[in-house]
Amino acid sequence: MSREMVVNPGDQIELRIDSVNHQGEGVGRYRGLAVFVPFTVPGEEILAKINSVKKNFAQGEIVQVLSLSEKRIEPRCPVFETCGGSKFQHMDYGLQLELKKQLVEDSLKRIGRITGVEVRPVIGMENPWGYRNKAQFQVDMIDGKIKLGFFEEGTHVLVPTTDCHLLDEQVRGIAAVTEGLLNKFKLSVYSLETGKGLLRHVIIRKGWFTSKVMVVLVTSGEKFPEAFTIARELRAKVPVVVSVVRNINQNPARQVFGRETQLLSGQATITDHIGKYVFAISPESFFQVNSQQIEILYAKALEYAALTGEETVLDVYCGIGTISLFLAERAGRVIGYEESVQAVHDAGANARINKVTNVEFVSGRAEERLPRLAEQGFRPDVIVVDPPRQGIDKKALQAIADMQPKRMVYISCDPGTLARDLQFLSHRGYRAVEVQPVDMFPQTSHVESIVLMTNSGLKGK
């Protein structure tokens, strides 16, 4: 029987939800076909309407929940179902942590074919709300007014809101004030279709432990004579805003930042703390959005690195040097590699601020730099990697294997690409010993994981 005969778009079926997928959707099976239905909870019986049918799965939506799970709770956000940015908001937090552990385990087994590795319980938060120190708002004109918000999932349709409950309360308030000021000056909004208009994004960053805030107005290259006045008024209304910056993005694509940044008022950076270290954060810097969980994450990474004070450590995708400085306290020497030139500049500044002298930072793409290091015979004792969601390029992975470090610590924000990369390394002499998930993103289906890998001495290709 073909899949088309099992179920068709428009059909209504009864379905039991057994698990969730990596997009946070509930998963049930109907006559052997996986059916994905968002905003459901494992254990629930539902009546679902089928929206689309693919080769190996179908997509559906809830018509009626026939049997409610006791783990279902009332979501806090009124636009929860349209925004789609926090798909676990309707689940008890304890269940969220259990499901994230299952997602990591499933990825390792199904994608990486990795068994026998311990996946520890997810380290959660005491208060899993209001934790985000950064908001990246889309901008649109609705009924003649500028609105900040987020795109509806899978679209470029704005869901207008400044009241996301994942955001720090202060950030939410500043977003509302900023929206009011932008409307006061009747600014135009940039259109990708026409290439005309001014405002593209509003980004708000907060130093969690300093309570100092930066507001970034991302605009096109059009004239913006009101910029300095808006910056002054914003800082007068909200004194914790110590930095207002304009970033000029003239790229016709959807990338957020452009190449030119202009300080409108206050200071060029804000600072935050991780443990005893102080970090200067510029508009484009990568800095973990959950400041409360960073120290937990880095403490586990240090434990896995097992440094004695003599080792040479390579920190790949080092960003602004956050974990490099932690490693440097216990290592002989740390070298950080990062593609972004601005991030490398910031990392060097952070080392100087904290008076750390046994660390250096180099700019360049990992897939280009690491093979050269391997060819030159560079052999670090420990390699730490914290790649973006797409994981590590194969050329960089092969170079890491060729350098034969005794230990490797892999920090990942995507279980799927993590499993893929661990499988690659497992065929080249490395064994995953332990995985520690950390909940950096409560109320969402995302999970951060730290993996300890050791070198078995085998050098297969």
Q: What is the radius of gyration, based on Cα positions, of the chain?
A: 24
Q: What share of the chain is helix, strand, coil (3-state, %, to 5)?
A: 25, 35, 40
24: left (phi over 0), alpha (psi -120 to 50) or beta: left
159, burial (CB in 10 Å: exposed 0-12, middle 13-18, buried 19+): buried
CB 344 within 8 A of CB 284: no
Pairwise CA distance, residues 310 & 226, whole Å:
55
Active site residues: 413
What string of DSSP letters covers 148-174?
EEEEPTTS--EEE-S--TTB-HHHHHH
With beta carbons less than 8 A apart as the criterion, state whether 36 and 7 touch: no
Candidates 342, 207, 343, 352; CA nearest to 271 is: 207
Q: Which of 347, 338, 393, 389 is nearest to 371 (CA)?
A: 393
Mark out the alpha helices in 360-449 (DSSP H runs).
366-375, 394-403, 415-426
Could you tell me if 460 and 401 are in contact, meaning their C-beta atoms sit under 8 angstroms apart? no
Q: Please classify residue 434 by burial: count the beta carbons closer than 10 Å to its beta carbon, then call 0-12 exposed, 13-18 middle and 19+ buried.
A: middle
Residues contacting residue 78 through CB under 8 Å, at least 6 positions apart: 161
DSSP characters for 240-254?
TEEEEEEEE---SSS
Contact 351, 319 (CB under 8 A): no
